[in-house]
Structure formats: structure tokens, C-alpha cells
Amino acid sequence: MFKKEDKRTVTGSKNQSPTLNMISEGTTLTGKITTENDIRIAGKADGEIDSKGKLIVTSSGVVKGGFQAQDADIAGKVEGEIRVSNKLTLRQSAVINGDIYTKTLIVEEGAEMNGECRMGKQADEKKSQAAVSASGKTGAATLRDSSGTK
């Protein structure tokens, strides 16, 4: 008389645990990488990385080209600019050749950094300057009040 219908739906959700992308040891990926999720580099990434999640570079990992991420944990080698919105951790085996812009920096004894480091508000100011330069707008700004006069 009453039949139970089997209605199963599988959908993706932002509430599910995030996916971890991996570049395994012995693998080289060339080109720009863009991901909404976390990424773990144990091999070599030759190009820019843009992650909305956490970037992990293992002790065997190499990133050439820099990256930006929400958080980062580096034990390997990075050559290029590093931009981290929240927390950057440099493990004792980390070797960084490039400028760092981050809110919070944790450095273990033995980690190597060769470049400029800006944190907190200074990092945000530098990001804003970089955005203006990237948009091609340079020079002085013209200010007008509400009446339209200079």
C-alpha cells in the first residue's frame, strides 16, 4: 500500500571536509596551479600556486615561482614571493629564497630565509601597492570633494 521510494542524492558541500591535492615525490608539475582546497607538495611545482586553503611543502618538496595561500607550512624549498593571509610556518629544513608577506610567522631553528619579510599591517600595505601596480595604475590620484571640485 505505501511504498518507500529510494531517493538518494549526493551533493558536494562546503561543509564537507576539504579535499587535499597532492604532488607526490618524483612528480614535477609545470605551470600555474589554482585551487580552492589545501595542497601538499612533496615533488616539484615549477610555476605560481594560488591556494584558498593551506599549502604544505614537505622536506622533499620544491616550489619555483612563489605562491599565495591562506596558511602555509614549509619544510622544503621555495624560490619566489610568498604571500600568506594568515599563518606561515617555516620548519627547520625550510629554505626560502624570496620575499615573504604574512600576518603571522613561525620560524623553527635551522630554517633559512633569504629575502625581505613584511608582517601584519606592513604586509597588507605591500599587497595593496602590488595590486595597484598590477592594475597598471601608477602616479598621483586626483581627489574631488562631493561638489566635484578638485
Query: What pLDDT, on the 0 to 100 scale, is given for residue 105?
Result: 96
pLDDT at 8: 45
Amino acid 129: pLDDT: 54
pLDDT (0 to 100) of residue 121: 77
**Residue 98 near residue 82 (C-beta atoms within 8 A):** yes
- Distances in Å between the alpha carbon of 25 and those of 43, 77, 82, 85, 122? 4, 13, 22, 27, 36
Strand partners, 71: 54
pLDDT tens across the length of the chain (150 residues) = 555 554 443 333 454 556 889 999 999 999 999 999 999 999 999 999 999 999 999 999 999 999 999 999 999 999 999 999 999 999 999 999 999 999 999 999 999 999 999 998 766 665 555 544 444 443 333 333 344 444
